[in-house]
Structure 1
């Protein structure tokens, strides 16, 4: 017997030696294929890109992987307990491989005939998730064992656990417990209840099968298994188990919890980041901070939607989007309607609904969310029939004139009431900018990003109309003209056959005032005066002037119609041009990203925009960007500049004089407030905003295909555009609707009544509690009494006063003739270089 025991012992020793030798051999065979686990110390977890407003509100998240990286200290202890109890109860005791766990799993397999317990430790799962695939092969399992042992030699247990809790896939593209808490429950991981913790802790085994959204019954059972293991390990009490195990499953999908709606801006950011970082931008955890503030971005969105809807409703109702059943057919029941509506998209602020019953002045509805509601007459009465863009049908007298039972319609909420609505055909854009440095403060590129990704702010080239005139007049001032220079406001009837078909520009309205100062011509937007002025300074000089405002030369056609805005520019280019009038003539560049950080909060980019510097003295444009240019500025240049701090060698080029910018700004204030006995084209802004520090200009193209309004204060400039994406479609006319009372817009569509209300609604919010800040008068500007009819100096009883650049002021006086009329002098007025051909 002893002999056999000795032989058995020898065999066992030989087997052990051979086993160890085999393991050593396998290790050295596989060793060259094993990755360096020390890389885990500096691992960069794939994390989505997040886009924020300047004040920290989440605008968007890009990237398929949802992950919220957490330190182990940020994960609540019950979550750690639940994961350990379920996945690896001896995690803090074994060296990466758990022989006891392997033996237990093998025993259960042998008894039951099938594998019921996993033997992989958390360290092995980390090895697999970071370095290996999920293929079920012996080689992969051996590599996993060796890698787990290596990981344990290089990392602490807490570091390994933190990697696991951040890396583990948990379904719905969520990786890690932080992302899972947000995806399934819309919470921070620290806010989860015990039953919710147990649901997440049960997911690693099979995220797709145990998913609480897709398989709530399986998730319920798995959750209770997790709670049972926590009870067995003493991590929860019996009372906690009893309470948590009875809780119903309340999980639902939560997208990224964006708090600020700015999809057009978010797409601009996404493109910029992909251009900079490639496809890695989606996984490197970028935090991108934009220039917009939440308050102004929300104001821009609401103003644009209201402007589009206001235009759309006054032009008539185009009918329901579908008729689900007709008269005489069986009516759908509530469940059928809800099932149908749940498949329909919703384009905020529009909600799909179905008419289930009609009264004389009301309609009963079922909304997409299953809510049953009443649509009252105040929400229906606007809906006279749309015939064409310039014709509407009769005002309805009953709800039955507009709707039918079974109609699928759109509604929108207005306070507690519902309003009948429709998806607009028209579209619009609004962009607001800080004129000091070009920072975008609000941007909306259309009615709905879901309907159209086309960003009309920076992609839509549209004719600018009279929005171009301030730049023509500013160019004339740079050529020596003054606001008192007289141009004849009279019809142009001359025709040069060599120039092709006869072109006869006309005023709108067709009112002609005769000899008129430049200030009045711009404030009243006189077309023929603009043409005469352009002819006087020369077309090429005018084109050069436009490029000084940042307008691209390649989009400027050399034609006289350029005086009236025939060129096509984007709203972003237009707002940039007006920013130069607001900031003293500095050509700032629009930008929309202030800072980019990586997932470790390291700054990868910080904006350093070229900035305007009011009060920095008169520097040549070439000098403004030269290093040490600020040394030539008297006094404290930092205090004088429009923003603080400004990097001295990053001042924006000044391409027009501060004096010309001021004179045009003051004239565009006249365009808002008007003069004695007349209103400016932007009079609605004076009525609604009641501020004296606003300047602005309307713009309308031929046949009203495009309507614009651009306006500004010294610290904020905004441009609004409205029109159809189809360039050939005009904005048309809206007849008076007797159902809508006196406070309505009727007649033709122009910049003043179609685009300006969008600008006004935005400015009401953007300028709320901002004190009036009149444009500072720059050095080199003087104010003199002049004769309003001639633009010459007045001896006495001056009809007005006017600003002039020093050296351009008139030197002669208007002299009354014997009959009491003014004597104008040598065939030109106001000392401006205007020929008699241009006057008459």
Structure 2
């Protein structure tokens, strides 16, 4: 019994033993292959179905030939005339047989060398792109085939998303399944974008070289083929040297591909290629380059053709261009911005030649404004309580170790604010800026639309902070508008080609920047600068208010001013900021201003300036005596209790009186400024007024007179002494010390 049980047990053990289990990794690999194969099969079925369905939906070859890409934009002037047509430009469609072989070879060599071997997607190209990415740490080589680029050009956008790449691949496979390689290359070369608005090789050839694509040379074909990678960077109209350098790279790829020999490539001189100059692209393109980017904000995203109606006046633009070209010094550049009283840009010139340089100096360049910046200094002073008739002393000034000089290094002695501004006295501007505060001047500039950084060093009063022409013009336009803010704009409305309104400019009410009396006061000063001061070259036979500006070493020259509702700013200088011989704001810029403004305002009514100074209540002293007639006709007692006889001399203020204002109050009482009973200040200074105010009756030019001597005389710069009693009235600089000029 036990033996039998033992045999049974042994047999039972042999029956339970089976084959050893397979390692886990083999089981995992087997599952991966099965499931991977299944997923791949499903994916292939999905892709195949997607490609099949997409191919069925693709337009026919003739339909693709007639389709266009890109958005057409017709830009119109204020009167509706067409300024320029932007967007896609299409040349003649070239069948495959008419496309030069060198053009086909160049584009295939640089964009897709395996074009004839893949099915729309090139796995080898993708792998090579990934390897370069791993080695360099960034994507330096694209893996898109010509077919993929064609799919993107016709059907997709340039967004870099995974979903778009999947759609691009499906479309590429569908295109390859429906069209032949020759048809695909024909579509590509007639539709791809080459920059400068040119779609297709014929449009590119005509734009860049001035002839049809059937006449392309090897050098020209290499340049065009090189544009596809980055049309905006390599376009000959944007950067000729970049286009030629890229063309040299294409020649190298053609040698590698075996379509040309090294000797042939070495014999090609790309520098000898003649680039055609653009027609109708001068002057007005500065304006369109500034205005059209605003469409991204003004209207919703749309691909349909549109018409943009702008504020530009054709006649004024032509006059502006001629004025700059006729007056700009040799080797220098010029810029001009002209605004209507509502902020509409009527003319804009950003340089002397748009074709040679499309850099817009009117809106992009930042340069020092020189004395034109004094607009903000005097605005701050007028707002603080000064008036054009206040007396000041033109004498040496030192502020925190800084001592400004006047042009000619002479001093005029005691003059009024109006004369100081008209003759652009640096010392007066420095003292005023110091008194009202340099931060206050900077705040005033910000208030009037200056957007660039502003320093608050003492020298800032002479225009050391860099500004844009359009911002300075905007500031002067605000003065012309009575101290109300102005917002420059260039687009009136946008419509579809069918007339549907997409955008309409709505007039806005500007903010009040300064009180009316401040605007009237600064207009008085600006008018004086043109009538008798540094801006005399800007006179045009009707009222003009403006200011010159010249920077150190004659690097920049400015004139900004307004007349009859038109405000214009002119700048001249070199792009490299080197000195320009003889450049001063009162010369070439003022002359260009005058040449332009004569045309700009000739059909407008003459507009007189409002310079009537209506002071606010806080600046006026209650004067009960006025009820009793003129002070010359009765006895009265002054503030100190002194008895004043009829017709007697007015009491002169003493240093003790002046010391009362040392606490920072910038404006003395009104009777320190005006004579009793005088309602308004005079209009802009005339020659008679300046003669009385500055002593020119003695044949002394206020711009050349020396500072007063210790004996109270005004000495001429020549050394001869002109004895003259200083006119009565307070000196608004506290306790001035006479300065003895060297003989």
Task: Give TM-score scaled by structure 2 length.
Answer: 0.52
Deviations 1:609-655 (A, max 9, x none): xxxxxxxxxxxxxxxxxxxxxxxxxxxxxxxxxxxxx5xxx311111
1:581–1:135 CA distance, 2 compared to 1 (3 A): same
Name the counterpart of 2:696. Answer: none
Cα distance in 1 between the residues matched to 2:391 and 2:73: 58
Corresponding residue of 2:291: 269
Alpha carbons of structure 1 residues 652 and 135: separation in structure 2 relative to 1, 3 Å: same
Report if aligned partners of 2:319, 2:599 keep a CA contact under 8 Å in 1. yes
**2:491 corresponds to:** 593
Q: How far off is 1:440 after superposition? A: 0.9
Match of 1:710, SS?
strand
Contact map agreement 2:83 2:284 (CA 8 A) in 1: yes
Of Structure 1 and Structure 2, the greater helix share is in: 2
Does 1:284 find its partner at 2:183? no
Cα deviation digits, residues 233-291 of structure 1 (max 9, x gap):
xxxxxxxxxxxxxxxxxxxxx9998598412112223433467789x77x531222221
* Rounded Cα–Cα distance in structure 2 between residues aligned with 1:822 and 1:724: 44
2:372 pairs with 463, 467, 485, which one? 467
Match of 2:442 in 1: 543
Long gaps (5+) in structure 1: 1-26, 69-128, 142-167, 184-206, 212-253, 313-423, 609-645, 675-679, 733-747, 805-818
Give the match for residue 683 of structure 1.
536
Determine the structure 1 residue equivalent to 2:383: 478
- Asked if 1:48 corresponds to 2:77, the answer is no
Q: Distance in 1 between matches of 2:384 and 2:521?
A: 14
C-alpha deviation, 1:718, in angstroms: 0.4
More strand by share: 1
- Is residue 59–residue 263 contact of structure 1 (8 Å, CA) maintained in 2? no
SS at match of 1:661: helix
Query: Which one of the candidate residues 529, 536, 547 is aligned to 1:697?
Result: 547
Q: Which residue of 2 aligns with 1:756?
A: 590
Counterpart position of 1:574: 472
**Shift of the alpha carbon at 1:780?**
3.4
Aligned counterpart in structure 2 of residue 428 of structure 1, from 302, 319, 334: 334
Structure 2: distance between partners of 1:257 and 1:820: 65
Aligned positions of 1:221-620 closer than 5 A: 258=280, 261-273=283-295, 284-308=304-328, 311-312=329-330, 424=331, 426-434=332-340, 436-492=341-397, 494=398, 499=400, 502-552=401-451, 555-608=453-506
CA contact (8 A) 1:483 1:803 kept: no
Q: Is the 8 A contact 1:57 1:258 kept in 2?
A: no
Q: Whole-Å Cα distance in 2 between the matches of residues 603 and 261 of structure 1? A: 28
Task: Give the deviation of 1:541 after TM superposition.
Answer: 1.8
Look up the SS of the partner of 1:520 in the other structure: helix
Partner of 1:656: 514
Kept in 1: contact 2:299–2:503 (CA 8 A): no
- Deviations along 1:73-95, whole A, 9 cap, x unmatched? xxxxxxxxxxxxxxxxxxxxxxx
Distance 1:138 1:588, change over 3 A: closer
Q: Give SS of 2:378's match.
A: helix
**Following the alignment from structure 1 to structure 2, what is the Cα–Cα distance between the partners of residues 136 and 44?**
18
Aligned partner of 1:731 among 543, 565, 580: 580
Deviation, structure 1 residue 779: 8.7
Alpha-carbon displacement from aligned partner over 1:154-181 (angstroms, at most 9, x marks no partner): xxxxxxxxxxxxxx999999999xx9xx
Instruction: Tell me how far 1:50 sits from its aligned partner.
Output: 2.2
CA distance in 2, matches of 1:264, 1:703: 28
Deviation at 1:683, TM superposition (A): 1.3
Q: SS of the counterpart of 2:364?
A: coil
1:509 Cα deviation after fit: 2.7
Corresponding residue number in structure 1 for 2:566: 716
Aligned partners of 1:517 and 1:791 also within 8 Å: no
User: Which position in structure 2 is the counterpart of 1:768?
Assistant: 602
Return closer, same or farther for 1:136/1:582 CA change in 2, 3 Å cut-off.
closer
Contact 1:681/1:698 (CA < 8 Å) preserved in 2? Answer: yes
Match of 1:671 in 2: 529
Structure 2 CA distance for partners of 1:44 and 1:484, relative to 1, 3 Å:
same
Alignment partners' CA distance in 2, 1:823 and 1:209: 84
The structural deviation recorded for 1:772 is: 1.1
Contact kept? 1:515, 1:839, Cα under 8 Å: no
**Structure 1 segment 121-132 matched on structure 2, within 5 A:** none
C-alpha spacing 1:580/1:130, structure 2 compared with 1 (3 Å): closer
After superposition, what is the alpha-carbon deviation per residue over 1:498-541, rounded to whole angstroms, capped at 9, x for unaligned? x4xx4221111333221111111111111111111111212222
Q: Give 1:836's aligned residue.
A: 735
Change beyond 3 A, Cα 1:759–1:289: same
CA–CA distance in 1 between the matches of 2:585 and 2:404? 19
CA distance in 1, matches of 2:75, 2:365: 24
Once the two structures are TM-superposed, the CA of residue 453 in structure 1 deviates from its matched residue by 2.1
How far residue 698 of structure 1 moved from its aligned partner, in angstroms, is 0.8
Q: Residues of 1 paired with 2:406 and 2:587: CA distance?
A: 18
- Relative to structure 1, the CA distance from residue 763 to residue 431 in structure 2 (aligned partners, 3 Å threshold; closer, same or farther) is same
Give the match's secondary structure for 1:271.
helix
User: How many Å apart are 1:589 and its aligned residue?
Assistant: 1.5
Q: Does the residue aligned with 1:696 lie in a helix, a strand or coil?
A: strand
**2:388–2:524 Cα contact (<8 Å) kept:** no
In 2, Cα distance between equivalents of 1:256 and 1:763: 29
Q: Please give the alpha-carbon distance, in whole angstroms, between the structure 2 residues aligned to 1:823 and 1:658.
A: 30
* RMSD value, Cα: 4.7
Aligned length: 448
CA distance in 2, matches of 1:526, 1:513: 9
Structure 1 or 2, whichever has the larger Rg, is 2
Is the Cα contact below 8 Å between 1:465 and 1:699 reproduced in 2? yes
The 3-state SS of whatever aligns with 1:288 is strand
User: 8 Å contact 1:487–1:515 — kept in the other structure?
Assistant: yes
**Residues 55 and 178, structure 2, Cα contact 8 Å, conserved in 1:** no
Contact persistence 1:682–1:697 (CA under 8 A): yes
5+ residue gaps in structure 2? 1-48, 93-153, 157-170, 181-189, 217-275, 621-629, 631-648, 653-670, 685-722
Conserved? CA contact 1:430–1:571, under 8 Å: yes
Partner SS state of residue 568, structure 1 = coil
Alignment check: 8 A CA contact 1:458 1:571 kept: yes
Instruction: Return the alpha-carbon distance in structure 1 between the equivalents of residues 613 and 727 of structure 2.
Output: 33
Aligned-pair distance for 1:58? 2.7
CA distance in structure 2 between the aligned counterparts of 1:836 and 1:29, rounded to whole angstroms:
92
In 2: Cα distance, 1:792 partner to 1:276 partner: 51
Taking structure 1 as the reference length, the TM-score comes to 0.47
Q: Is the 8 A contact 1:673 1:682 kept in 2?
A: yes
